[in-house]
Structure 1
Amino acid sequence: MKRVFLFLFFVSNSLIAQSNLPSSASDISPLLIGENVPNLSLKDTNGKSVNFSDLISSKKTILVFYRGGWCPYCNTHLSALAETELQLIAQGYQIVAISPDSPKSLMETQTKEKLNYTLLSDSDGEFAKAFGIAFQAPENYGKYLKKSSENLNTELYIPVPSLFILNQSGTIIFEYISPDYKQRITNDLLLSVVKSL
């Protein structure tokens, strides 16, 4: 009897844990300006583990979360960022873009969009969840996410497209978050913000 109880307890706790993700993009609770970002490791396009704190310790960082290489709005935004990368570098910044895509899919996006900046894989969603911008993927999104996700045993999630500006200590000094995935920050606004910080 004890074993049955423990099993039921475990199953019910698992179900509760899986339902912790917001059900829609408008229900997220992101980190705020002034808060510090989590120190986690992600994988680069070669599948190599990268410690995020080490990555941002030498330069201020434009951190972008995007839904994946399957999303045309994301690809347009990634390409737009590439157009302004040199101006951002001149201001002392680096660009880092993160998605649920596997390292292989990241490499395909990097090649297709001709990106020179860093792309990182958050296939299990731990980084996006820590930022408070992950939500449950609608059922019809599974066909996109299963192709690109590295760990198919985790709950499928989507990050709300977001842009954070971080200092070298990992403190958020600006953020742009829009639950409407079609709306992204413009290069003009981004450059204006960077110059004012």
Structure 2
Amino acid sequence: MKKTLFILLVIVSFVTNAQNALPKVATDISPLLIGEKIPNLSLKSSENADVKISDLLNDKKTVLIFYRGGWCPYCNMHLSALSEAENQIIDLGFQIIAVSPDAPENLKITKEKDKIKYTLLSDSKGELIKAVGIAFEVPENYKSVINVNSNGVNSSFLPVPAVFVVNEDSDILFEYISPDFKHRITSDLLVPVLKNLK
């Protein structure tokens, strides 16, 4: 009986660990698909206030961005390009929300540096990033920068840069996910997509 109980505990432990394990590389992620819902989880605003993602998504259709952090030059270029297209995006009836593992105080730095008006949210624990299926194990050479920018909360994961277009019911209408962090959807491609989803 003890042996059977021990084997059962080992199996349960193995299954639990396997479910919690992050993909080792960006190409192994398993993101949510078009038609699925963005989970309703709490994140932090740049003022360190709790924000339920559904409260923001319920307002209007949303361009939901996931980026690696304000320390990433490719992310900063992408965030700036979205700022330049923001008026067009708003005119089409969409809002922009961008999520990263950065701590709230680092979101403020990014907002000021890149002159961003749209909403930036902190997911330092990675709850939403993992639930959306775009988290992977942080490469060794990024661990210290991730740790510093999340104020010691995160040293284990990075999000694959992603754009989800979501309706007021949190349903995913469109997604662009690139395991190569240097490649992002351009505003020239995104704006026509939004026109079609209007």
TM-score (norm 1): 0.90
Shift of the 27–180 alpha-carbon distance from structure 1 to 2, 3 Å rule, reads: same
Shift of the 14–156 alpha-carbon distance from structure 1 to 2, 3 Å rule, reads: farther
* Rounded Cα–Cα distance in structure 2 between residues aligned with 1:13 and 1:30: 23
Query: Which residue does the alignment assign to 2:73?
Result: 72
Q: Would you say 1:170 and 2:170 are equivalent positions?
A: yes
* Rounded Cα–Cα distance in structure 1 between residues aligned with 2:124 and 2:51: 14
SS in 2 for 1:98: strand
CA contact (8 A) 2:42 2:53 kept: yes
Q: Offset at 1:16?
A: 2.1
CA contact (8 A) 1:67 1:159 kept: yes
CA contact (8 A) 1:161 1:177 kept: yes
SS in 2 for 1:142: helix
CA contact (8 A) 2:126 2:157 kept: yes
* Rounded Cα–Cα distance in structure 2 between residues aligned with 1:82 and 1:111: 12
* Rounded Cα–Cα distance in structure 1 between residues aligned with 2:122 and 2:151: 9
SS in 2 for 1:61: strand
Name whichever of 134-143 and 169-178 sits farther off.
134-143
Q: Would you say 1:104 and 2:99 are equivalent positions?
A: no
Give a deviation string over 1:64-122, Cα, whole Å, max 9, x none. Answer: 00000110000000000000000000000000000000000001000100000000000
Q: Would you say 1:148 and 2:157 are equivalent positions?
A: no
Ranges in structure 1 where 5+ consecutive residues have no aligned partner = none
* Rounded Cα–Cα distance in structure 1 between residues aligned with 2:15 and 2:31: 24
CA contact (8 A) 2:29 2:133 kept: yes
SS in 2 for 1:120: strand
* Rounded Cα–Cα distance in structure 2 between residues aligned with 1:173 and 1:19: 27
User: How many equivalent residue pairs?
Assistant: 189
* Rounded Cα–Cα distance in structure 1 between residues aligned with 2:151 and 2:66: 17
Give a deviation string over 1:141-186, Cα, whole Å, max 9, x none. Answer: 112101111453x551000000000000000000000000000001
SS in 2 for 1:73: helix
* Rounded Cα–Cα distance in structure 2 between residues aligned with 1:168 and 1:15: 33
Amino acid at match of 1:38: P
Amino acid at match of 2:81: A
Amino acid at match of 2:80: S
Ranges in structure 2 where 5+ consecutive residues have no aligned partner = none
TM-score (norm 2): 0.90
Amino acid at match of 1:162: A
- Superposed CA RMSD in Å reads 2.0
Amino acid at match of 1:64: I
- Percent pairwise identity: 57
CA contact (8 A) 1:124 1:150 kept: no
Query: Which residue does the alignment assign to 2:186?
Result: 186
